[in-house]
Amino acid sequence: MVDPVNSSPVARAAARVAVGIAAALGIVIATDLVLTDGATARGAVVAGIPAGNLDDAEAQAVVDQLSERAIHRVRLHTDTGSATVAPDDLGLFFDAEATKARLMDQPRNPWPRLMAILGRTHAVQPVVTIDRAVFDATLDDLRSELEKAAVEGGVHYEVADDVATPVADMPAAGKRVARDAAATTLMAQWLDDKPVDLPMEDFDPSVSAEVVGQTVAGAATRAVAAPVTLEGADDVSVRVTPAQLGSVLTFVADGRGGLQPEIDPKRSTEMLRPQLAETEREAVDATFSLSSGSPTVVPSRDGSRVDWDKTFASTAATVTGADASDTRVVEVAYAPVKPKLTTKQARGLGVREVVSEFTTSGFSSASGENIRLVAAEVDGALVKPGEKFSLNTYTGPRGTAQGYVTSTIIDHGHADKAVGGGISQFATTLYNAAYFAGLEDVTHTEHSYYISRYPEAREATVFEGAIDLVFRNNTEHGIYIETGWSPSDVTVRMWSTTTVDVESITGERYAYTDPPSLKLPKGDNCIASTGSRGFTTSNTRIISDAESGAEISRHTRTVKYDPAPNVKCV
């Protein structure tokens, strides 16, 4: 034991120096404690931003800068690619308040404080959290950009001279993002506002080279050892050669470390559909017959189509499980095709009685032929509850290719000739049938000048591609349309269930206008006429409940007819 009284002068001097230094350091640290009270820790750096010895307002400015960075898109880099992603899509959240509190926290250990006084900096991590479920889901979506997929082993065929030869596709390892390490890295570096390099890890494919070799020698060779026959309905059979099979067959990973046969559905369907199409059956919708004088339901019939998925699965199983000496026959699978309107649905539509009927007459022979054609097209149309009926859509084109002929039309206020003339007479007849059935008028257009064989303000014209007649079945029952034609008149009859009564009131004529004079070049298309006065009138439709008589709706439509010009052919 050393006696301090008897210690050497040198030792006593050293002790005094040490005590002095300690006292000086204590004074320095104590002074720094006072000077930095209410400020951030000296030497603090957060996300690369110097943040030491800042007062509250200055610290808030740093945190605001970090908050601004927190809305920037994040640039992710890996060994194999890059992507730019919104922070929310990575599940990142920056806690500004907690980060500021961490900055304002003064170190209790004197050593870090002394080192800071001497100029050494220390990192303060911003408070960041990450939602792993969101992060993992986004990385799943970015696999093609950020990761190198493992190459799964497989088998394909080379086809030459009608011979299919199996070829091995050897597996290769891939690289993927190491998720746990990547999440940690991202939280630490996100707010540095620089690209973040995500750590990667190697991973192996599920199929080994050994499995590929075994498949080539076994199932892949057996598959093309002999033809396979597909037997369809109606005694139709299709022979598929080994070369044809090799052009559509591959072996792919089954997710359990093995390989399974896979037939290319698009190419196989293109190859086989022409030969098997005749074995398919179209579904037939239920409809109605009026042969007995009242509607009876003509039953629907299910159809069938080739179920290609099941057929290809059976084919793959058959050819890979058989050798050349086995019978290689596959029954073509069929899936039922249901009609759009079944017998049961048709019977529930309430098509049982005539709810409206309208007839017009007085057309020429040419117009009559066009009216006959369009009436035949519309005959038997069914409008289900809630559906719209468009005359132009239902008939499609009405040109010479469909048998329509040239007849009189109205063009720019005067008579002219064009293919399909006379269709407007059928449109007027159909419109009135829908009118008196109480159906909703979606759109219709009157003729530009009045034609005496039509009801005033209760008629319609159509023009392909421009002017249409559309009504909606706003009842709870189906509407079955029957048409009848003779050389002198055309009739439209609607069958359903009576729910309303319809009254039509035609208003008085007023605001007459005189016809202008018009001179046109002589020719087949010039039709001379004496003209007629124009006027304005209206029609009011009153719809009442058929059972109670209570008024349901009342609508007035005002129509202005132009004067028909005095036309001279000169």
Q: What is the mean pLDDT of residues 406-414?
A: 64
Q: What is the mean pLDDT of residues 189-207?
A: 92
Confidence of residue 15 (pLDDT cuts 50, 70, 90): low
Q: pLDDT tens digits, residue range 417-445?
A: 677 678 999 999 999 999 999 999 999 99
Confidence of residue 2 (pLDDT cuts 50, 70, 90): very low
Confidence of residue 116 (pLDDT cuts 50, 70, 90): low
Q: pLDDT tens digits, residue range 141-182?
A: 999 999 998 899 999 999 998 899 999 999 999 999 999 999
pLDDT of residue 9: 72
Q: Please answer whether residues 287 and 298 qualify as being in contact, where contact means their C-beta atoms are separated by less than 8 angstroms.
A: yes
- Both tokens assigned to 93: 């959240």
- Both tokens assigned to 221: 């060779």
Provide the CATH number for the domain formed by 4-140 in this structure: 3.10.20
pLDDT of residue 241: 96
3-state secondary structure of 441: strand
Tell me the percentage of the chain whose pLDDT exceeds 90.
71
Whether the pLDDT of residue 1 is over 50: the answer is no
Confidence of residue 465 (pLDDT cuts 50, 70, 90): confident
Full-model pTM: 0.62
pLDDT of residue 37: 55
H or E stretch at 27: helix 9-35
Tell me, what amino acid is at 166?
P
In sequence order, what DSSP letters do the residues of 220-249 get, joined into one string? HHHHTSS-EEEE-GGG-EEEE-HHHHHTTE
Q: What is the mean pLDDT of residues 518-544?
A: 87
- Both tokens assigned to 106: 């003064």
pLDDT of residue 311: 97
Whether the pLDDT of residue 321 is over 60: the answer is yes
Give the chain's mean pLDDT.
Answer: 89
In sequence order, what DSSP letters do the residues of 265-282 get, joined into one string? HHHHHHHHHHHHGGG-B-
Q: pLDDT tens digits, residue range 217-267?
A: 999 999 999 999 999 999 999 999 999 999 999 999 999 999 999 999 999
pLDDT of residue 327: 82
Among 17-26, 303-312, 410-419, 474-483, where is mean pLDDT lowest? 17-26
pLDDT of residue 386: 97
Whether the pLDDT of residue 14 is over 70: the answer is no
Provide the CATH number for the domain formed by 218-340 in this structure: 3.10.20
Q: pLDDT tens digits, residue range 123-142?
A: 889 999 999 999 999 999 99
Query: In which residue ranges of the chain is CATH 3.10.20 found?
Result: 4-140, 218-340
pLDDT of residue 467: 95
